[in-house]
Structure 1
């Protein structure tokens, strides 16, 4: 640790480690994998950034957050640390430069999104690298019991093995004991190498303000006016709410801007920059904002709507007071929010017909087959995340095995004359490349080759063709553009009891639905706590706070009794009117119910039904009641 302490001071400009950091770094330096559960702003990133400089090889950082990747890479580069990021915003030239640095051994840290690890061309490059450490940020995504399960994360453990990764560091700010146990099991982390610093942060004063939907704006205004002009984030559920609340605050004389995934990239960047600089002190945002934002002086977090879970709540309030200064976190608790949040959860459960059709289609394939996630989502009207989850479930059941993703089309741009490229190889290889180029369709700039067609014409394996094209790119002889991503699969076994498998898959989705609904109601149950709010919050994450915090709204004697839930009734005339229009995309009861509750689906989006006057007409009505009304039409 002497070298680590020297790096801490000289490279990172810090005098001492924060709690937990030294234990994690020591574990990694001793060659073991670790799980670090630190609160938001607790210094997780240093736990891999510092040892990355001590390892002989590359540190691969897997993160779903582009904003975090950008901030961290910029900060590391400013410190003279060779780090880079690969994400959708990178130009072709930037990607090539990064690959060159990686292959020359000049790069110490490479940040990637988990989806990039399904890219065969990227994995081919990684296979030739010595990867000393894989850091997995937001590691709770690996757990089906977590609040933000992502199928791509389940494959990371196997990938670490196939790439011969030296050690893994899993990092998260929000893991219950059950989730932590699953993370450790997946990555082979020993119990003693699970390092947790504690969730309790005494500088955060948390509070619950019970209110009805029509009282909420005034309550928010009262809270903001008591401590104006301080950096604040107001979290909302819907994009339209972000705009309406920001407009309301601007009308009241405050400077506020909306932020959500539906805005153009330039608008989101401008809002983020204005918030970071202090030009705009208040951002009204969906959960898309704040993840990975390194601003230490956020003084207030307001939840205008209920968060989806206590894990989300903990993560979001964790963005306040990272500088240790006093900060407050206020939840405007309204039971009416449950309706919209529940509707989104129910809307993600696939139709029984779609689920059965998908499973039959997959089990009807030959031993080796491939698919386009986009095409399959459209065909069976399931969201891409639902499709990916089903495919992962079938992999875990031993029905399918993912082989490799590949592209159906390669566009080739020669960076030097074709004759010069061919002259660089021995006669046999040059003759193969000449025949390969001849299979392509020449355009003004790009030569388009379809590997499957070329393989058939040449009598060669498709893998040889793809490897050849990737090699030419690595040697800077050509530029490649790819299209038509398809995922390869192997059908391991066809189940003897197909109906039993479909029922099992349906049960898994129902159980996931029930867990998400339970989490929602868990937020309301916690918000109604009489007495200290911090003690039950810490207990949820497996910790014990011996004494009441003395600072929360409960400790200060405020009542947390929430008003009864209000919801709009089903309007049968609207249900019948839309049903009578006989849209193909709304033929099934659940499809119609999703549409009426304002939940998009692939087929409805393709039919442009999002602009229909009745889209979302029953968004304030519980999904289960809308679904019952739609099913009665069927009956």
Structure 2
């Protein structure tokens, strides 16, 4: 197959960007594929072109609603029939989309991992056939999958229910450790790994040492000021470690705010104001930014230490997407390490995992239909709370012992579970906790380093340390850059 002619026919491009053709070739041939490309390098085209070429529907799992919306609009612009199934759709819109899928009139279906678990989308897609499954922003499997978005752990079970189509994992960055976890968590079979580098030569990286909360606030104000005033002429994002810090800084310095404890309408209004309103500062937790395609963000500032170099790189990657010089500042106070150590816990005891399994066995016997039962019926008969019960089920799902059955129901696959399995799952959560501790130490070393910061990132992500043709803009390499120059 001539991929170049297909590219021009369906998307109007005359040539591939670096890495795209190799990725498309592997996907067309039906191989599991991991695509590691920096922001703006064209990762999405790798699944879009191959999704058009391959038979069947392409299922795209995206972490954020805004990301799915942008990608759906891009596909429709190229006359590719696409539907989005998430919480923003009305019942009427969902039913219309279902009818289109059933009639074979849809090529791309974009949804979230939670939606796949809570509804019968899988059953609907099985009827029409899925030719390709895509996990966008695949680092979330590692970064969020065991904490904030545990439904990511159920994706292998979803894939199995769909008949094990080839799977494509897309991300801007992954260290060797994160790549291994993506492979394991998604159960990829000898995947082809396409990696094109991480350099963003227009980003000026700097770390400013702070010695107190007052000092940090003063340095933040200084970093945000333009000619001595805080009034913005260009957009900026200030990342905070907690919702409390977001609220405090937005109140003290003025600007927009975004975090998970705000009402949905407030978050949407803040995002819309940042994207389409006059230039502003957005104070946010890491809940903001993934999938935000705003090209003219001139500053990204971290007021607290990110949990890992992966998280740091993803977040600074939102700056300077138009290729113009932009500044990325980390305000580093060693006292922030204690906050990150608190977030780095999370081991699940084997006894709780066994209890969750016993609860499902009992629930199936009492309430089950076809070996499935609703979580709402299990919570009253379990000593575990609803959240702990669901988390344990998701861990068990990652080993194929239980599986999400849609509409909040869980399927019991193996009635007999040896305690050794629970011990291994406990050990896996302990190892992940230790990995987070290692990631934190690497982030501290980056903040305290006295050498080229881009060189540290290249080494961490396993990228060839070839010197860039563009002079490095990090603070240690001595470049003095005016923001927006």
C-alpha spacing 1:133/1:15, structure 2 compared with 1 (3 Å): same
Equivalent residue number for residue 242 of structure 2:
238
Report deviation, 1:226.
Answer: 4.6
Report deviation, 1:530.
Answer: 0.9
SS at match of 1:51: helix
C-alpha spacing 1:307/1:374, structure 2 compared with 1 (3 Å): farther
Mapped pair 1:401 → 2:323:
no
C-alpha spacing 1:382/1:140, structure 2 compared with 1 (3 Å): farther
Equivalent residue number for residue 265 of structure 1:
264
Equivalent residue number for residue 457 of structure 2:
537
C-alpha spacing 1:245/1:74, structure 2 compared with 1 (3 Å): same
Q: Deviations over 1:469-502 (max 9, x none)?
A: xxxxxxxxxxxxxxxx33121443243xx5x666
C-alpha spacing 1:380/1:516, structure 2 compared with 1 (3 Å): farther
The 5 Å alignment of 1:411-430 reads none
Q: Deviations over 1:24-63 (max 9, x none)?
A: 1222233333210112332211111222233332111011
Equivalent residue number for residue 516 of structure 1:
436
Equivalent residue number for residue 107 of structure 2:
108
SS at match of 2:324: coil
Equivalent residue number for residue 179 of structure 1:
178
SS at match of 1:536: helix
Equivalent residue number for residue 309 of structure 1:
308
Report deviation, 1:344.
Answer: 3.4
Equivalent residue number for residue 373 of structure 2:
370
Alpha-carbon separation, structure 2, partners of 1:223 and 1:489? 55
Mapped pair 1:156 → 2:155:
yes
Equivalent residue number for residue 45 of structure 1:
44
Equivalent residue number for residue 587 of structure 1:
none
- Cα pair 1:141 1:147 within 8 Å, conserved: no
Equivalent residue number for residue 204 of structure 2:
205
Show structure 2 runs of 5+ residues with no match: 366-370, 481-485
Alpha-carbon separation, structure 1, partners of 2:456 and 2:476? 12
The 5 Å alignment of 1:411-490 reads 485-490=408-413
Alpha-carbon separation, structure 2, partners of 1:189 and 1:325? 40
- Cα pair 1:146 1:179 within 8 Å, conserved: no
Q: 1:390 aligns with which of 389, 392, 396?
A: 392
Alpha-carbon separation, structure 1, partners of 2:158 and 2:463? 32
Single out whichever of 501-510 and 221-230 deviates more from structure 2: 501-510
Report deviation, 1:103.
Answer: 1.5
Alpha-carbon separation, structure 2, partners of 1:148 and 1:206? 29
SS at match of 1:202: coil
SS at match of 1:215: helix
Mapped pair 1:493 → 2:413:
no
Equivalent residue number for residue 483 of structure 2:
none
Report deviation, 1:352.
Answer: 8.6
C-alpha spacing 1:3/1:396, structure 2 compared with 1 (3 Å): closer
- Cα pair 1:143 1:149 within 8 Å, conserved: no
SS at match of 2:96: helix
Report deviation, 1:284.
Answer: 0.9
Equivalent residue number for residue 368 of structure 2:
none
**Higher relative contact order (CA closer than 8 Å, sequence separation 6+):** 2
Alpha-carbon separation, structure 2, partners of 1:541 and 1:21? 20
Alpha-carbon separation, structure 2, partners of 1:266 and 1:389? 28
Question: What is the alpha-carbon root mean square deviation over aligned residues?
Answer: 3.3
Equivalent residue number for residue 133 of structure 1:
132
Report deviation, 1:75.
Answer: 3.2
Mapped pair 1:551 → 2:450:
no
Equivalent residue number for residue 33 of structure 1:
32
Equivalent residue number for residue 278 of structure 2:
279
SS at match of 1:134: strand
C-alpha spacing 1:31/1:62, structure 2 compared with 1 (3 Å): same
Report deviation, 1:354.
Answer: 5.6
- Cα pair 1:147 1:311 within 8 Å, conserved: no
C-alpha spacing 1:225/1:518, structure 2 compared with 1 (3 Å): same
Report deviation, 1:289.
Answer: 0.9
C-alpha spacing 1:489/1:146, structure 2 compared with 1 (3 Å): closer
TM-score between the two structures when normalised by the length of structure 1: 0.66
Report deviation, 1:552.
Answer: 0.7
- Cα pair 1:308 1:341 within 8 Å, conserved: yes
Alpha-carbon separation, structure 2, partners of 1:202 and 1:125? 45
SS at match of 1:405: strand
Show structure 1 runs of 5+ residues with no match: 251-255, 408-484, 559-635
C-alpha spacing 1:509/1:293, structure 2 compared with 1 (3 Å): same
- Cα pair 2:4 2:16 within 8 Å, conserved: no
SS at match of 1:200: coil
